[in-house]
Amino acid sequence: MSVIVWGRDNDYKVCTPYPPEVSNGIEKIFSANKSAFQNLGRIQLGPFSPDYAEFSIDTAIMKQCQTSSGRRFAVERSIMGRSSALAKGYVWEFEGDTQSHWFAYDISTMTYLEETYSKLMKRRPKSKKRQPIVNMKGHFQMQYVIDVEKMQQTRADTGKVRNIQRRPLTQAYMPDQSYPWQSPLSSGTAMNVPVFTRSSLKRRNVAASGGAAQQTAGTLASKQQPTPPAPIAAAAAAVNQPSAPSAVKKSATKKQQGLGSSQQKAGEEREPLPLENKIRIVTKKLKAARPAEEVLQQYATVIKVDEENYGSNSDVDTDEETEGQENQHCSICCDKLSTPSGYGEGEASANVVVQLKRCGHKFHRLCLLEMYKATHKNESLQCPTCKLIYGEKTGICPAGVMKWTILHGASVAGYEGYDTISVSYHIEPGVQGPEHPKPGQPFFTQGFPRVGYLPDTNEGRKVLKLMIEAWRRRLMFTVGTSYTTGSSDVVTWNEIHHKTELHGNYFGHGYPDPSYLANVILELADHGVTEDCL
C-alpha cells in the first residue's frame, strides 16, 4: 500500500522525509483542514517530536522555519508507492562524522537505493546480473558511489567511505487510501501543496508498481489486494479515526453573512463579524507635529507647589496618606515635587508642577515634557502613573496587511464546537521612517507572516474588532529589539499577545487558556483601544 510522506528540502533542493511521527502528525492536521490548510498559519513540530522543537511549518508559504536561525526550506507532501522503502517500512540512512549518528537520504535517492537493493535480493549470489553499485555521480550534485551489498558510500573525488544502512522503521507512515486512483490534492482542491512527481519516480517508482497507474479503477478493484503489514494496517485504522470535531453544518447564506458555522446557544445573539477581512495600513508622510509644550498645555494645568501640603501628618488616615505620598513625588524622576526637576536644575521652570486634567496625577513639567519627546510623537499622552491615555494613541508599526478568515470545523481547546478565527499579519522589510528609533536605517522582519487564533465566539469576535482597530492605529507591532532572538531593528509584537498555536500548547502560546480573551482586552485597553472605539 502506498503511504503519505511529508518532508522538507535540504541544501541540495531535494526532499528529505520527516520521521513517521512528525509526518503523520502533519498529515492528520492536513486531513482535518484540507480546504483551509493555507490559513492555519504555523504548525509547531515540537509536539510530534522533541528533536523538532525549534521548527515549525508556515502553511501560507509551505515552508519549514527554524526559530534560532530563521532559515526556511520548502515543504512537500509526497505519495510513495508500495515498492518504495518508506512504504515497505524501511529508511535508508548514511553515517555522519560522529559514529552511530545517522542521517536519512533524500526521498529520490532512497528510491534508487531501494530499487537496486530489491533487484539484488532477487538474484542468485553468483549471478553475473547482480549489480550492487549505485552510481550517484551527477545526481542532484552528489558525487557518490554507493554499494548496497557492502552497505558503504564512497565519495568519488576524495575516496572517503561512510557506512550506510537500511533501517526498519519503528512506526509506519500513514497509508494513502486513495492511491493509485487519485491523490487527495488532485481533486480540484485549491491547495499549494506539491505532490511528489519527480521524473525519477515517474520512470522508476511507478514502473516498479507494475504500471498500476495505467489500469482502470474497475480493473484494480477487481484484483485482490495484498494484506498490509501489521504496522501499516494499524496506521490505516488510525487515519480513519476522526481527528477533529465535526463542524456543525450551516447554510452557505449564513457563511456569506459572516455568521460562520459555530454552535451557539438557543436565543443567543451572534456578534457580527467585521465587514472587511483584509486591512492595509500605509506609512504616510508625517505632518508637522505640534510643539510638545502646546500638546502638554492641552492635557495638563500648572499648579502651585505648596510645601506645607507635602509634609508628614500623623492625623491623615492610611488611604489618604498613601494617596498623598503618591502625589508627593514625581513618578518620572522619583524626586519630590517640592524640589526642582533634574532636567532643568538652576532654572526657574524646573520648579513648575503640572496636574493632568482627567486623572489628576502630578509631575514636574519638565519631566513630563522630556517623557513626551522621548516616547510620544503622535500628539497623544499616556499618564506614566495610571496609564490613562489623552488623545488617540498611535504607534509606529510599518506598512503591511492584516487578514482574517474563519477556519470552519477547526476548534481550539476549550472552545469545542466553535469555529476558529485565523488572523494573519504580513509585513515586508524596509527603511525606518522619522517616527522610528533609527530613521533612514533598514528594519527587518522575522517569522512573517505571523498568525494568531481566536475562538469564533461573541467575545472572540469582539477581540477581533479591537485588534483591527489597533492595527489601523499602527499599535500591533513596533520596531526595536526582539526579546526572543535579541536581534535589533526588527519588527516585534507590541505587548498585545496572540495565541499562535492552533493545535496544542507546546510553547505556551496556545489553548486552553480561559483567561486569554479577558487579558488581551485589557492589553488593548492599555493602548487606548476599547469598545468605545468600535
222 versus 487: the higher-pLDDT residue is 487
pLDDT at residue 287 tops 70 = no
pLDDT of 516: 94
pLDDT of 216: 34
pLDDT at residue 225 tops 90 = no
pLDDT at residue 322 tops 80 = no
- Phi, psi of 122, deg, nearest 5: -85, -15
Q: What is the pLDDT of residues 324-360, one digit of tens each?
A: 544 578 888 888 888 888 887 777 788 889 999 888 8
Q: What is the pLDDT of residues 242-272, one digit of tens each?
A: 444 433 333 333 333 334 445 555 456 788 8
156 versus 45: the higher-pLDDT residue is 45
Q: Please tell me which of 120-124, 309-313, 349-353, 484-488 the model is most confident about, judged by mean pLDDT.
A: 349-353
Residues 6+ apart with CB under 8 A from 107: 5, 7, 14, 15, 16, 17, 78, 80, 86, 196
38 versus 455: the higher-pLDDT residue is 455
0.75 exceeded by pTM = no
Query: By percentage, how much of the chain surpasses pLDDT 70?
Result: 73
- Phi, psi of 120, deg, nearest 5: -60, -40
Average of per-residue pLDDT across 4-12: 89
Separation CA 374–CA 482 (nearest Å): 20
410: region left, alpha or beta (phi > 0 left; psi from -120 to 50 alpha): beta
pLDDT of 460: 95
**Are the C-beta atoms of 452 and 498 separated by less than 8 Å?**
yes
Task: Take residue 413 and report the three cell numbers written for it.
Answer: 481547546
pLDDT of 264: 53
pLDDT of 313: 39
Q: What is the pLDDT of residues 470-483, one digit of tens each?
A: 999 999 999 988 87
Q: Give the pLDDT band of residue 131 (cuts 50, 70, 90).
A: low
Q: What is the pLDDT of residues 452-473, one digit of tens each?
A: 999 999 999 999 999 999 999 9
293: region left, alpha or beta (phi > 0 left; psi from -120 to 50 alpha): alpha
pLDDT of 456: 94
pLDDT of 267: 54
pLDDT of 39: 79
